[in-house]
A and B are shown apart, each in its own frame.
Chain A
Amino acid sequence: MNDLVQIVNLTKVYEAGRIAINDITLNLPKGRIIGLLGPNGSGKTTLIKMMNGLLTPTSGSIRINGNEVGVETKAHVAYLPDRTYLSGNQKISEVLDFFCDFYEDFDRSKALEMLKSLDIEPDRKMQTLSKGTKEKVQLILVMSRKADLYILDEPIAGVDPAARDYILRTIINNYNPEATVLISTHLIGDIEQVLDEVIFLRYGQLVLYTSVDHIREQKGKSVDAYFREVFAC
């Protein structure tokens, strides 16, 4: 079995009956870079949060490496949320210690190397960093792990084009090649060249799951162009 993630009949209903994810069944293979694409409010972050155990599904199941979301899966999933989750009082070096203590697959020297390449001093406190630098530090933490699954929620949103390039380079150069990378974004044009497969979500429903090559060959369009066609208002 080559599937890393198995999602079966997954549904998430928020308060007031708002359906965020509607009966999704999906298998994600190993060793791919997959784009999770959809307009705002399509359910991307909800799906990602359920995969990380931050939201409880209303029904259905998620299995990663055959395990239900829990201690075992969290040890093998490297997650970059769409917000800063590090305490402002901590120094970067303390955060590195924290990751070393809890993630066996965390490579401290690799993290230090990446920090050095960006001239970020490990002695600096998180609260003294700019928003963009905080995001880079979080990305470095995530990509310094040798995880089976990298889940990156909007990693290039809200950063300048130069930073986007750095982030994409960091992802491509540092992820474990045997792992799967799931990247959520709506900035498709910037990320298209690194994707193997794409998932289109709309109103919590799975619209499409296919390879990038298939879209290019069958539809004769780029993913960005096809996305615009599918989600045209």
Chain B
Amino acid sequence: MLGKLFQHEWKRVYKVECLLLAVLFVFSVAGALMFASPMGNLIFGDGGRYMTETEIFFWTMTFITSIFMYVIVVIGVMYGSMIYLGVNFYRSMYTDEGYLAHTLPVTPHQLLGSKVLVGALWTFIMQVGMAISIFLLVFSMVVAEDPTMLGDMKELFAELEVLEPDTKGMIIHGGIMYLCAVLVSPFASMSILFGALTIGQLSKKHKGMMGILAYFGIMVANSIITQITQTIGSILAMRMESYSASGYNEVMFYTYDVQILITLLIGAGLYFLSHYIISQKLNLN
């Protein structure tokens, strides 16, 4: 049943998510083409050609406006996707449509799991899309500003090959943790979002609004915990620095691990809380 639920949930959301991806793609390609075109040379200065102050101001403003628009689009797409997934979840579970969802012969784990899976997968796809988009834009800017910088980047990667084993180990550790965060954090994000919306169902009135408030509350709490961890980590790292050169970085990496773990634990906790509410406390209006 999980497979069927996943399939139908995917069908529900894929059109809007694809549309958001398409918007991101269009803006990324347009931006990259702009920087890679002769216009890009003008924005970054075209190798010694004299430019008046007005021209410099114009092209600088063009650059700032382009980047600003791009950032707005990226943020809009990311939050748009998340808001859409949240609205879709709420509508399908706790409005009239919930009368169908909750009378299907499926377990609460299957129902909730399918929605978390689809939401997480789309969040992951969005993150990958965003990474590609940013890479594309930065790459085109590098090429526009100074094509020889590509050679420098190759050198940078070559330097990584001959790093000290400790440093190399830390970079690999950091890379693995980053990968884990990228792969697993979408599940945590969706569990937190859906969990908060489900907590809102415990409210007597304004259940949707209470769900949104619960979400912001959880996010603030998560930030506070992260900040506390960061502060403790920084203090420990500074102390470790006096014992060994790599001590600071090591502690900071472990702090990062702990932060990821805390977010995952909050996600897992909210998933099980949502399951409990759906199976034991459901009261559809």
Instruction: Using A102-B104, A102-B106 as known contacts, say yes or no to A83 and B99 having CB atoms under 8 A apart.
Output: yes
* Contact call B283/A55, Cβ cutoff below 8 A: yes
Q: Which of A35-86 contact B (CB under 8 A)?
A: 49, 52-56, 71-72, 74-75, 77, 79, 81, 83-86
Closest A-chain residue to B92, C-beta based? A87
* Contact call A52/B97, Cβ cutoff below 8 A: no
Q: Quick one: CB contact mask for A78-107 with B, threshold 8 Å, 1 for yes?
A: 010101111100000010001001110000
A166 to B177, CA, bound (A): 63
* Contact call B106/A71, Cβ cutoff below 8 A: yes
- B residues near A74, Cβ cutoff 8 Å: 103-106
* Contact call A83/B284, Cβ cutoff below 8 A: no
* Contact call A56/B96, Cβ cutoff below 8 A: no
Closest B-chain residue to A151, C-beta based? B103
Closest A-chain residue to B95, C-beta based? A85
- B residues near A56, Cβ cutoff 8 Å: 280-283
Instruction: Using A54-B102, A74-B105, A101-B8 as known contacts, say yes or no to A84 and B282 having CB atoms under 8 A apart.
Output: no
Closest A-chain residue to B91, C-beta based? A87
* Contact call A71/B107, Cβ cutoff below 8 A: yes
- B residues near A86, Cβ cutoff 8 Å: 97, 100
Shortest Cβ gap from A15 to chain B (Å): 5
Closest A-chain residue to B11, C-beta based? A94
- A residues near B106, Cβ cutoff 8 Å: 71, 74, 102
* Contact call A102/B96, Cβ cutoff below 8 A: no
Q: Tell me if B239 counts as interface (CB < 8 A to partner A).
A: no
A53 to B108, CA, bound (A): 11
Q: Which of A87-138 contact B (CB under 8 A)?
A: 87, 94, 98, 101-103
Q: Quick one: CB contact mask for B61-105 with A, threshold 8 Å, 1 for yes?
A: 000000000000000000000000000000010001111101111
* Contact call A81/B99, Cβ cutoff below 8 A: yes
Shortest Cβ gap from B284 to chain A (Å): 5
A56 to B4, CA, bound (A): 26
Shortest Cβ gap from A61 to chain B (Å): 14
- A residues near B7, Cβ cutoff 8 Å: 101
A102 to B281, CA, bound (A): 24
- A residues near B102, Cβ cutoff 8 Å: 52-54
- B residues near A54, Cβ cutoff 8 Å: 98-99, 102-103, 282-284
Shortest Cβ gap from B277 to chain A (Å): 10
Shortest Cβ gap from A146 to chain B (Å): 14
Q: Tell me if B12 counts as interface (CB < 8 A to partner A).
A: yes
A97 to B79, CA, bound (A): 32
* Contact call A55/B105, Cβ cutoff below 8 A: no
Shortest Cβ gap from A22 to chain B (Å): 17
A81 to B97, CA, bound (A): 11
Shortest Cβ gap from A227 to chain B (Å): 27
Name B residues whose Cβ lies closer than 8 Å to a Cβ of A: 1, 4, 7-8, 11-12, 92, 96-100, 102-107, 204, 280-284
- A-B contacts, 5 listed (Cβ < 8 Å): A54-B102, A72-B105, A74-B104, A75-B105, A77-B103
Contacts A101-B7, A102-B1, A102-B106 aside, 8 further interface pairs with beta carbons under 8 A come to A15-B204, A54-B102, A71-B107, A84-B96, A85-B96, A86-B100, A101-B4, A102-B4
